[in-house]
Amino acid sequence: MSEVKRGPGRPRTREDEPAGEYVGFRAPRALKAQLVEAAAREGRSLSTEAQFRIQQTFDFQKLLPQLLDLAYGKETAGLLLLLGQILRRIQFITEHIQKLDSADPARGSWFEHGWAYGQVREAILEILRRLEPASKPVEPKPVTDHPQAEYLRDVGKATAMSALASAIDNSRFDDLEPVGDEIRNRLRMSIKRLKENRAWQGVSFAAAGDRGGSNSKQENEILRPARGERATSPSTARRSKRRPS
């Protein structure tokens, strides 16, 4: 009786584990030590533990759109995924260009490279321009009649400014919670640069603080009518401040 020819790779160390296709790769010693420890803890072979861990990365990748849906809603999640894919592609191209340009001292992330950053900015603007709704940007009557109409007319920029202020100084501004620390950790270099050069914005962060620091005060005032509460006009607010306790 002829022997069954075995495929490439080491023989299975556990007969109860299903056979699969052979995949070989080298791993750093620290990573192998982690795999050995995890395999022993879970009662699996080293090969099966590595397979399990790799499969998890693909499973988590499938979860990302669902998590973004829960956090931001489907349309915003779709836009974030679209921008993420575009930015990843641009990063790949710009990093390749940087490698070809031996005279270019700026390396690494597109956040730190002027030309690459410009390409990303143009991509984002192009996406938003192409997805722009057909309706004209006419100011809604509730904005015109609102006591805080001036704030609402510039709410996009005001929200962005307040978010940047929160990224710089979370002791005074809390617009990024509960993910503020995660944002600050991932954008450390950009936030450091922002701290060193505040003049670009035209309005100082101190002035943003004078307007209430966080957008939460303005937003609470704006949402009062929707909750059946009476909105407070600026003049009423000033009178209440003067009223003795």
What are the domain boundaries of the chain? 29-67, 74-130, 141-220
Examine the pLDDT at 58 and tell me if it is beyond 60. yes
What's the CA gap between 195 and 199, in Å, rounded? 10
What does the block give as tokens for 195? 């701290």
pLDDT confidence of residue 178: 86
Of residues 185 and 8, more confidently modeled = 185
Decide if pLDDT at 223 tops 60: no
Predicted pLDDT at 222? 53
**Residue 140, amino acid:** P
Q: How far apart are CA 76 and CA 49, in angstroms?
A: 36
Q: Which amino acid is at 31?
A: L
Residue 11 has pLDDT above 60, yes or no: no
Average pLDDT of the residues in 138-165: 86
198 in Cβ contact with 205 (< 8 Å):
yes
Question: What is the share, in percent, of the chain residues with pLDDT greater than 90?
Answer: 13
pLDDT at 230 over 60: no
Q: What's residue 165's pLDDT?
A: 83
- List, for residues 66-119, the tens digit of each pLDDT value: 989 998 999 999 999 999 999 889 888 887 877 777 666 555 677 777 888 898
The pLDDT of residue 122 is 93
* pLDDT, averaged across the chain: 75
pLDDT cut 70: percent of the chain above it: 69
